[in-house]
Amino acid sequence: MAKVVGIDLGTTNSLVAHVSDGVPVVIRDASGDGLVPSVVSLAEDGTFFVGREAQRRLLTAPSRTVYSVKRFMGRSLDDVRDEARMLPFAVHQAAAPEGTDGAHGGGVVRIALGDREFTPPEISAFVLRELKHRAEEYFREQGEFDFEVDRAVITVPAYFNDAQRTATRDAGRLAGLEVLRIINEPTAASLAYGLDAKNRGTIAVYDLGGGTFDISILKVEDGVFQVLATNGDTHLGGDDVDLLLMEQIIDAIGSPGLPGEAVQTIRKAVIQAKIELSEQDTTDIVVPPVLGLPNGFRKVLTRAAFEALIQPLVDRTLAPCRAALADAGLTPVDIDEVVMVGGSTRIPLVRRAVEELFGRTPHTGLNPDEVVALGAAVQADILVSGRREMLLLDVTPLSLGLETMGGVVSKIILRNSTIPASGREMFTTAVDNQTAVDVHVLQGERELASDCRSLARFRLRGIPPMPAGLARIEVHFQIDANGILSVAARELRTSIEQTIEVKPSYGLSEGEVEQMLIESFEHAEADFEARLLIEARNEAESVITATEKSLRRPDLAEIAATELPEGELARIDTALHALQAVMPLGDREAIQASTQALNDATQRLAEVAMNRAVRGALAGKNVDAV
């Protein structure tokens, strides 16, 4: 027999929970500690350490110890290059695999531990295995000897993109877990707070953890949790607070080239000071003597100075909150509850900022470190037992679409669409006798493919040769309940089909995630004009191609002599050359005017050609045969 659990795979700490007698419970170790530090260390003899022991080895073997690996999940080296300089372990990037877009930072990040290398999902799998082992030990102690933990619901930040969700699911598979569902952390938190007991209401979940920030606006009505909007920053959290304090101390010491042992000792000291300042007005940052820092370091830090230092980071969380409210069509007064999630929400400045923004005291009744794992356990119990009538409707954070002729993006699933989600669109061929179509999948809010992130490419082959525009190609996008995208392309006349599960090896950089929405508004007018120009050129090229094809008809001379007004061909030729002349100039209105002029000039020729084609098709047939 097997057990199912809920897992919060966090940047700083991870937890596992289950439902006992209808109540979610965090599974703890023998000392009563529910947290497993998300740290993995590899000893010289090949022994792996996970959790507290690995955390201790940060001070003695920093180059062989990995922390905050969640920030690397589904990302490229370019995405994390700035912070990599402060990390004690070596990070590099393998070449982009076939089928991905190396121009956008494709390729898997690899982390070197001694003479071995690991991907972020592999490192995360060590943490997940430790959680799995802890749960199994717990169930054995409860006398349930025959139970194995083999299924789990795992939470991710709401603003994780397709690559990051896929990497998380892969980590679960590597750990020997069937991932029943990947759910967003804010949604899980709202379940744990018991907000499902409310008949209806609008909830804002503010989630500031160790490495990521999310804001989600949910509507709860009769057991249905519908995410109205989500926003956030996948590269903002408590780690950034620690980094600011560390840089301040390193600057004060005046030794930028400190060895890894000294840097990690400073990191431990600032984390302790940060925790203390949540409860008191002043603290001492005490760094003991270590290699590279023989005299140690001591500094008095007040809460006021600390808050002044981190104010810009806290302010960065408020803009996504306002954006999420706007996307949901709401204002702060429309929010019934504000839920605080994540260890970094213990900071008094954070709580004050949230209270001022929403105009109400945030809900802080549960341990912010544990609330996500508890919610994951509730969802796991729902999926397995079916004992609770509840439906979770999450959303996709960014739009998904395809590149079409001229580099334009055709959006098929829009951002903040409820998932599971699907979308279909019809396309056709651009040239005569085309037997293959390239399908380029994109993510982002801009109008042009060059401004969006490439997720995958594949080719639909075997299309029968036919004139341009006759092929009917249906592209189907499907996002499952885990937020994972698959794309299928099918030629309807032949039923030839090609399907791909989009598994990009890279993610969106923090800047790209933030800027995609911002730029979509800042550049909206220019993007729209660029799109209109491309569409005008596409239409003009189609008219030019059709006109040139008509002018090559073997019966053209006969048509001109018997069915067209005198000088008609000359007028067509003049209009054709006029359109060809304005095409390179980039003047949309001139292109549209010349296209219309050519359409007008060829109208009579098109009618005659159509009539002749119909007469030819009907020749020798009676009405019944037709």
Is residue 422 classed exposed, middle or buried when 0-12, 13-18 and 19+ CB atoms within 10 A define those classes? middle
> Active site includes 279?
no
Of the candidates 22, 2, 80, 101, the one whose C-alpha atom is nearest the C-alpha of residue 456 is 101
Q: How far from 177 is each of 38, 129, 132, 173, CA to CA, in Å?
A: 18, 9, 8, 5
Is residue 111 within a helix (H) or strand (E), and if so which, with residue range? Answer: strand 109-113
Among the options 130, 136, 207, 512, which is catalytic? Answer: 207
Catalytic residue (one of 70, 274, 411, 503): 70
> How far, in Å, CA of 25 to CA of 19, rounded?
6
Tell me the sheet residues that pair with 490: 474, 497
- DSSP annotation of 97 reads P
Catalytic residue among 79, 162, 170, 185: 185
DSSP state of 84: H
Measured CA to CA in angstroms, residue 243 lies from 89, 133, 141, 595 at distances of 16, 32, 40, 59
Annotated catalytic residue: which of 8, 79, 369, 527?
8
CB 174 within 8 A of CB 125: yes
**Collapsing DSSP states into helix, strand and coil, what is residue 535?**
helix
548 is known as an active-site residue = no
Q: Are 292 and 264 in contact (CB under 8 A)?
A: no
Q: Could you tell me if 167 and 161 are in contact, meaning their C-beta atoms sit under 8 angstroms apart?
A: no
> Has 355 been annotated as catalytic?
no
Q: In 3-state terms, what secondary structure has residue 61?
A: coil
Sort residue 621 into left (φ over 0), alpha (ψ -120 to 50) or beta: beta
Active site residue 621: no
Specify the amino acid at residue 449.
A
By annotation, the residues acting in catalysis are: 8, 70, 185, 207
